[in-house]
């Protein structure tokens, strides 16, 4: 694991769930304002979870919106009340990974049209609650642009994905679960890493990497949820390589058979289903 590679190209492993140019408008905002907004989102008082019913042409899905990601919960409910999602498509489907929806441009999209850049004109501050919420099978998370143009990992204002994923072995998980801890430490040491890299000090970088890896392993071992996370990924499955990078703000509580059916459809070269799968309606569960 090379810290320079993770620092300079951190988003490359996660682009499969990214929105494209449609969520970049907020990047021109004042950085201090965005930082303050993100801090406010992270420290906001949690509230009750909310159940939402998603009716699709492939069948029903019910999701729970977490109360401890209030900015995402509020925004999703706002869009539900505006009927924003009605008529949108599941425009991106990848087997053993996830299904993605929420692009408003998909409502009028022609067959074969590439989608993924549409949004309501704003982004949301990240609410990263890992390890409390992780990318288990059935997780509901917000799409976003990659780290290189979105270092604060702000979420798309409307696009979301539901994880299908796959099961992983203990050996595979050991490296994957270390990555979120490494990312935290790399961000905290970004200036020092860049300084050593600019100076061409490979020995210094190697020494720093060894130190950070050791710190990450200790942090991971001290995580009281580690055994639960490992058991989930080995027995139920998911997408552990996304943990700590995207906001997980809910989960499927019923209708995973519908998600599985959508995941299995034939897609084109851009991962769009050959036959449209539409969201008919989204309503707060009664």
pLDDT tens for residues 242-283? Answer: 998 999 999 999 999 999 999 999 999 999 999 999 999 999
CA distance 250 to 51: 9
Number of structural domains the chain divides into: 1
| Structure tokens, 235 | 């027995």
- Pick from 161, 20, 194: nearest CA to 92: 161
Give the sheet arrangement for strand 160-163, strand by strand. 90-94, 98-101, 160-163, 139-142, 248-254, 59-65, 50-56, 279-284
Does residue 136 carry a pLDDT above 70?
yes
Model confidence over 23-48: pLDDT tens digits? 332 333 333 344 455 555 555 666 89
Give pLDDT, residue 184.
Answer: 83
- Pick from 12, 155, 156: nearest CA to 88: 156
Model confidence over 90-110: pLDDT tens digits? 999 999 999 999 999 999 999
CA distance 60 to 166: 22
Least confident of 16-20, 43-47, 224-228, 239-243: 16-20
What CATH number is associated with residue 249?
2.40.100.10
Supply angle C-alpha 53, 56, 57, rounded to 5.
Answer: 155
Mean pLDDT of the chain: 87
Give pLDDT, residue 258.
Answer: 98
As separate numbers, helices (DSSP H) first and strands (DSSP E) second, the chain gives: 8, 10
According to DSSP, the residues that pair with 89 across neighbouring strands are: 278
Q: Are 93 and 106 in contact (CB under 8 A)?
A: no
Task: Please give the span between the terminal C-alpha atoms of the chain, in angstroms, as a whole number.
Answer: 48
Torsion of CA 179, 236, 161, 40, to 10 degrees: -60
Range of the domain at 52: 3-284
Mutual orientation of helices 190-198 and 202-221 as an angle, nearest 10°?
Answer: 160
């Amino acid at each position: 694991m090379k810290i320079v590679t993770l620092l300079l190209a951190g988003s490359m492993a996660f682009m499969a769930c990214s929105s494209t140019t449609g969520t970049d408008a907020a990047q021109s905002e004042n950085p201090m304002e965005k930082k303050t907004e993100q801090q406010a989102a992270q420290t906001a008082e949690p509230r009750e979870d909310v159940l939402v019913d998603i009716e699709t042409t492939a069948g029903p899905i019910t999701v729970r919106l977490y109360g401890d990601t209030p900015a995402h919960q509020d925004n999703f409910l706002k869009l539900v009340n505006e009927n924003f999602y009605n008529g949108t498509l599941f425009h991106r489907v990848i087997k053993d990974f996830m299904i993605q929806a929420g692009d408003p441009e998909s409502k009028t999209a022609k067959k074969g049209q590439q989608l993924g850049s549409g949004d309501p004109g704003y982004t949301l501050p990240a609410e990263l609650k890992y390890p409390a919420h992780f990318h288990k099978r059935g997780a509901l998370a917000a799409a976003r642009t990659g780290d290189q143009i979105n270092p604060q990992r702000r979420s798309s204002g409307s696009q979301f994905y539901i994880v299908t994923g796959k099961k992983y072995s203990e050996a595979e998980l050991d490296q994957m679960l270390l990555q979120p801890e490494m990312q935290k430490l790399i961000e905290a040491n970004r200036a020092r890493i860049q300084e050593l890299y600019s100076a061409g000090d490979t020995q210094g970088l190697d020494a720093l990497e060894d130190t950070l890896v050791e710190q990450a392993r200790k942090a991971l071992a001290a995580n009281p949820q580690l055994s639960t996370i490992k058991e989930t990924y080995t027995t139920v499955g998911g997408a552990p390589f996304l943990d700590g990078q995207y906001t997980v703000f809910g989960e499927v509580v019923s209708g995973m058979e519908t998600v599985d059916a959508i995941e299995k459809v034939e897609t084109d070269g851009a991962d769009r289903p050959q036959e449209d799968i539409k969201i008919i309606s989204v309503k707060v569960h009664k």
